[in-house]
Every structure is written in structure tokens, then in C-alpha cells.
Amino acid sequence: MSHGAFGDKFGWSRTAVKSIPLLLTGLGMVVAWRAGMYNIGGEGQFVVGGVLGCVVAKAMLKAASLPPFLVTIGILAGCAVGGAVWAYLAGWLYVKRGVEVVISTILLNFVALQLLGWAVSGPLQEGKGQLPLTDLLPDAVMLPRFDRQTDLHAGVFLAIVMAFIVWGFLYFTKAGFRLRVVGDNAQVARANRIDAKRMQLVAMLISGALCGLAGGVEYTGTAGQLGSGFSQQWGFIGIPVALLGGLHPLLVMLSAGYFGALFAGSENLARFTPAGTTLIYVIQAAAVLGFVGVRALMRRKPLPTEAA
């Protein structure tokens, strides 16, 4: 497994590529959960982001004389907007109608998958209309790659930059401080004249934008087209990535790298044993449970001793 993840440049490349969507979706979970909005809909936001990005790509590619890099930026921006709108819907249902975010985001995941299936078999289907796929993006529009022999692309830098931006936002801005206060205790936030509902909506917008951006990076970095298999559970796995990183943006980078190495190594392991693809989920579960257990022990306060 270690050789498949770090044994050569191909292993390092696989690890980095698989870490990118995990880092972005993990950051999305960090922002939402820090505000007390337990977003479980990263996968739906990832998918809807990809769908809207494909719509933007189709529209921009029809316009002649647009530089490829502008098309790429437009696709990524469209993906972020799609994810943000999808997450905002769940936030609005909570703030205005009292629908729990956990429930609405889970249900919206299924709606997003149905939307994807309809889009790739309908308005976004490839020109020949034979397969439930979209047209391939031109190579010039795809994110630049560092080596033609590997899949490593410039999205790795975008993900790292976003991690530092989220860190700066949460810990060095007034809005980030208010967001964390709302997550710690909404009543205290209201007592200090912080609009808790507004901050919760802002958190869902940012969270969804990050998950949608993950879909955009996957679309323009590796996939190049959408299909019914575009959903690869990155949004769901972003939750344990965020938890293992202690809901801290910089630690989530390490957590995403760890999970990315597990996925990359499991691909190599699967060539030698049929348990290769299954073992990864066992390791993931053990890592998260171990982390939760250690944190519980660290927070456990010793019982006061009676005076003799």
C-alpha cells in the first residue's frame, strides 16, 4: 500500500490528485460545522457544482475568441456557485422553516444525483446522443498538468490556497470569529448582537461553494466530462477528513493527504489481493474512531478527590 501511494512519481501523483477533492470538501465541512450547521450534503453540492460548471462550459465554448484560461475560470466559478446555491437551500430551510440541516442535506444529495442523471441523459448529453455523458472538455480548457505521464494538475495549488484562505477567514477576521461564536453557542451570539441566522447562512454558502469547487476541480482536472459515475463519494468522505483534522483548516490538509494516500495505495493493493478496495474503509473507520476516542480521553476531567 505504501508503495502504491509513495513508491514513485506515479504514486505521489495519485495521492495528490485524490487528496484535492478531499481537501476542498473537508474544508467545506469545517466551515459549516464550525457554525453549528452539520452539513452532510457535500456530495450533492459536489455534483450540482459539476453540473452547473458543465452548463457554463457549454455556453462559454460556444462563444468564439474566448481565451481558454477564462473558460476554465468561468467553469470553476460556476461550480462554486452551484454548490453554494445547493447548500444555501438547506440553510434557508433551517433558518426559515426549522428543517434540520442533517435531514435536508441528506435528502438533497439524492435530488442532486437524480439531477445529474437527467442532465447527462438530456440537455447536457454528448453531441451524438448515444451515451449518458457530456462532451469532453478541450485540452486547452483543462487544468494544466505538470507531467504528461501523470494526472497531477494545478488544482493541487488551488486546494492548498483555499485551505489558507479558510484558515485566515476563520481565525483572523471578525466574520470568522462571529461564525465560530454562533457554532459554539448561538444564544451567546444573539446576546452579543450577532445575527446567528445570517452567519449560519453565510457558513452554508461558503461550505457549498468549497464542495462545488471540488466538483469543478475534478471536472476540469481529471474527468473532463460528466457522467452518471461523476459522484465518487468525495463529499461524504470529506466529513471524516474534517473530523480527523480536528475541524482546523490547516490540519485538514494533513488529513486529506492521509486519506488520499489510502485511496492511492489501495489501488495498488487491489492488484495483489481482492481485499484491497475493502481494506481502505476499515482503515478509515479505525482512524476516525481512534481519533474520536483519543479526544474523548483528553477532554475527560478527573473526578475531584475528597479531602482527607
Arithmetic mean of pLDDT over the chain: 88
Report whether pLDDT(284) > 80: no
pLDDT at 260 over 80: yes
* Mean local confidence (pLDDT), 278-284: 68
Domain 9-299 sits in CATH at: 1.10.3470
pLDDT tens, residue by residue, 244-259: 898 999 999 999 998 8
User: Is pLDDT of 193 > 50?
Assistant: yes
Whole-number pLDDT of residue 297: 76
CB 128 within 8 A of CB 64: no
Model confidence at 8, pLDDT cuts 50, 70, 90, reads confident
Q: Where are the alpha helices (DSSP H) in 219-271?
A: 234-244, 249-269
Q: Which one has a higher pLDDT value, 164 or 289?
A: 164
Residues 265 and 258: their CA atoms lie apart, in Å, by 10
- pLDDT at 115 (0 to 100): 96
Quick check: 21 pLDDT over 80? yes
Q: Find, among 275, 201, 2, 228, the residue nearest to 122 by Cα.
A: 228
Closest CA to 210 of 72, 58, 22, 51: 22
Of 77-91, 130-144, 272-286, the one with minimum mean pLDDT is 272-286
Q: What whole-number percentage of the chain has pLDDT above 90?
A: 63
Q: What is the pLDDT of residues 56-80, one digit of tens each?
A: 999 998 876 889 999 999 999 999 9
Q: For residue 90, what pLDDT is reported?
A: 96
pLDDT of residue 257: 92
pLDDT digits (tens, 9 = 90+) for 213-247: 999 999 999 989 999 889 888 999 999 899 889 89
Cell 444564544 sits at which residue? 187
State residue 148's pLDDT score: 80
In this prediction, residue 307 carries a pLDDT of 47
pLDDT at 45: 97
**Domain residue ranges of the chain, discontinuous segments joined by +:** 9-299
Calpha distance 284→277 (Å, rounded): 12
